[in-house]
Amino acid sequence: MFELIVQVLVYGVIIGAVYGLATMGLNLIWGVMRVVNFTHAEFLTLGAYTAYWAWVLIGLNPIASIPLSALLGFVIGIFIFYIIIYRLLFSPDIHSTLVATFALGVALAELMKVLWTADYRGVPWALGVIKFSWFSIPITYVFTFISCILIIIIVYFILYRTYFGKSIRAVIWDSGAAAICGVNVKATLALGFALGSALAFIGGSLIVVYLPTGINPYMGHLYLLRCFVIAVVGGLGNPWGALAGGLVLGLLEQASPIVLGYIPGVEPLSLTPFLSFLILIIVLIIMPGGILGRRR
């Protein structure tokens, strides 16, 4: 029993941290400009493909391709912001950005299918395992986790120690006041979106480590529900909320199949996403701000 709990905890935290990182971008973008970025799923997918092509063409492992993903994500984020998002921010219909990002996501997924086919691909990066007395962890997972922590520290540094980060936090808190204090709100929004997008790309690259064969244009959909659950549970406006939510979901996903396995006549692996959805609903109803979100 004890062994099981430790195993669940370890895997839950390791995987959950990456989930959290992958979702931080979503929370950030919402916090900065009140936009739910439905393209997030495709950003994750693009990040995964970046890791794939880096592996196949240059021989970079997913962790080494992080700078590449970050850069790509950043540039694409800026591009999308200026062409599509900015003009919709002021539209009277609050759903404009929602529908636009969703449609853009669909278009991007299809673009990927056209370019790279719907075949499943994988990055078989394996370095062996660390053996404990009753379970083992792949070394790649540990490295991924460590990189995750490092990136989170970097994000913290950016948000709390640089002017750019402070202006983002100011805009999150009160964009009008920020503007009066001389913050270039439009540029800040753009950079905020780009940072969110870069984080999504990085998240996608790291997730590749956990699915050796699962890269395909539609993988984003699998993670969309997960990311929403994480984002909402953790608190939409708060990037650290994504982390909290990620850990919660990571642990849930590890623990739930085992617990559900005790219920006869049920398929634990498919029922787990349903459980996470229930949590999403409950949180949305009771605590719309999430665990760490601000109460509005």
Residues that bind another protein (CB under 8 A): 36, 84, 87-88, 91-96, 98-100, 102-111, 113-114, 221, 224-225, 228-229, 232, 265-274, 277-278, 280-281, 284-285, 288
Cα 278 to chain centroid distance, Å, stands at: 20
Looking at the Cβ atoms of 114 and 130, the one nearer to another protein is 114
Cα 154 to chain centroid distance, Å, stands at: 16
Of 225, 231, 257, 224, the closest CA to residue 246 belongs to: 231
Looking at the Cβ atoms of 63 and 108, the one nearer to another protein is 108
- For 42-72, the DSSP string reads HHHHHHHHHHHHIIIII---TTTTHHHHHHH
Q: Are 258 and 24 in contact (CB under 8 A)?
A: no
Q: Which amino acid is located at 113 in the chain?
A: K
How many other CB atoms are there within 10 angstroms of residue 56's CB atom? Answer: 11
Q: d(Cα 282, Cα 252) in Å, to the nearest integer?
A: 15
Closest approach, Cβ 20 to another protein, in A, equals 18
Which residue has 């002021």 as its token pair? 90
Looking at the Cβ atoms of 86 and 135, the one nearer to another protein is 86
Closest approach, Cβ 110 to another protein, in A, equals 4
Q: Are 46 and 104 in contact (CB under 8 A)?
A: no
Looking at the Cβ atoms of 105 and 165, the one nearer to another protein is 105
Looking at the Cβ atoms of 105 and 204, the one nearer to another protein is 105
DSSP one-letter code for 294: P
Closest approach, Cβ 94 to another protein, in A, equals 5
Residues 103-122 as b or e (16 or more Cβ within 10 Å = b): ebbeebbeebeeeeeeeebe
Looking at the Cβ atoms of 205 and 256, the one nearer to another protein is 256
Closest approach, Cβ 210 to another protein, in A, equals 19
Looking at the Cβ atoms of 214 and 273, the one nearer to another protein is 273
Closest approach, Cβ 220 to another protein, in A, equals 12
Closest approach, Cβ 228 to another protein, in A, equals 5
Q: Are 122 and 212 in contact (CB under 8 A)?
A: yes
Closest approach, Cβ 78 to another protein, in A, equals 17
Q: Are 256 and 268 in contact (CB under 8 A)?
A: yes
Q: Are 123 and 51 in contact (CB under 8 A)?
A: yes
Tokens encoding 107 = 């278009």
